[in-house]
Amino acid sequence: MSNLIFPTGYRSALNLRQTQQAIKLTKDAFQSRLATALHLDRVTAPVILTAGSGLNDDLSGVERKVSFTMKNQPGEAEVVQSLAKWKRVALSRYGYRPGEGIYTDMNAIRRDDDVDNLHSLFVDQWDWEKVITAEERTLATLKKTVTAIVGVLADVNALIKSVYPALDAEVRRDVTFITTQELLRRYPALSPKARENAITREKGTVCLIGIGDPLSNGVPHDSRAPDYDDWTLNCDILVWDAVLETALEISSMGVRVNAESLRRQLSAAGVPERAAFPYHKAILEDRLPFTIGGGIGQSRICMLVLQKAHIGEVQASVWPETMIRDCEAHGIMLL
């Protein structure tokens, strides 16, 4: 398949059994360290939500949700695409205070995602959310949190390499912070993805700030739903993947919208009618706490530290038959 990357001479350093054991160690170590670093409690979260609740993540606003009717109640249920909104409601309902937060295993189906080395129809990530004060809705808060998450990743990578000496992935602790507008000025002739690759190849670990608003060329760096992140205070965390020779996005996160930014972003996205949803009304009426949060890709983390060439080597999903055959021919064994 033309959209696949086949690294020359690739062979996994771990066999299938070792891989499964290493996945567990990676996930156990990362989530425990993340909880400590950000002061988070683990909570139970939904896999399905009722359609029309306004709580399901709309991602960039065009992806179709997986939905179905139910036997014992009217309407439809939807499989979550992420839990960006649900977490903020949960923090309010559970009585969390500034400095405290939650995380959960989020398992989603994104039917409209293209499948390739880095993308699957099945999404598994740690969704996390933390209460902050109005005064903490700043870039300083964003950067401090990003630095903590990258520190956890670097620690886990060091642990995995100590257990499996055949692995030698590099994760740089020092983070390069750059805005999408600064990145455009630095590489004006490149596409957004090529810009990400260029800066991450050079710097190793990058925090790309400000995703959603149009840049000076009139085009956003990438699309972002208007009703969870504040587009001026959000970011992607990128790490250079030496196996695939590409920038690997391990997290999308940010300070969440307040009433002012929600109104602006709903208008900019052309969906002001969403303001009538219960979730959106709660923000506009200042009935939900100020928060920061995001998602951290579990399979992406495992790919990186276990030096895998395809996300299907660390998660079980559904793949086109041609992809399965092509991957096997290039030494990539999908689970």
- Catalytic (active-site) positions: 57, 110, 125, 236, 249, 252
Torsion of CA 58, 130, 257, 222, to 10 degrees: -50
The Cα–Cα gap between 320 and 326 comes to 10
Cβ contact 237:249 at 8 Å: yes
CA angle 329-333-335, nearest 5°? 145
Contacts (Cβ under 8 Å, ≥6 apart) of 220: 180, 211, 212, 213, 214
The residue type of 286 is D
Cβ contact 253:235 at 8 Å: yes
Sheet containing 291-297: give its strands across: 40-42, 101-109, 122-131, 291-297, 246-256, 229-241, 205-209, 176-179
The Cα–Cα gap between 84 and 76 comes to 20
Q: Where are the beta strands (DSSP E) in 194-270?
A: 205-209, 229-241, 246-256
In this structure, the chain runs to a length of 335
Q: Which of 287, 284, 288, 223 is nearest to 57 (CA)?
A: 223
Contacts (Cβ under 8 Å, ≥6 apart) of 18: 164
The Cα–Cα gap between 46 and 222 comes to 28
Q: Which of 329, 309, 327, 308 is nearest to 319 (CA)?
A: 327
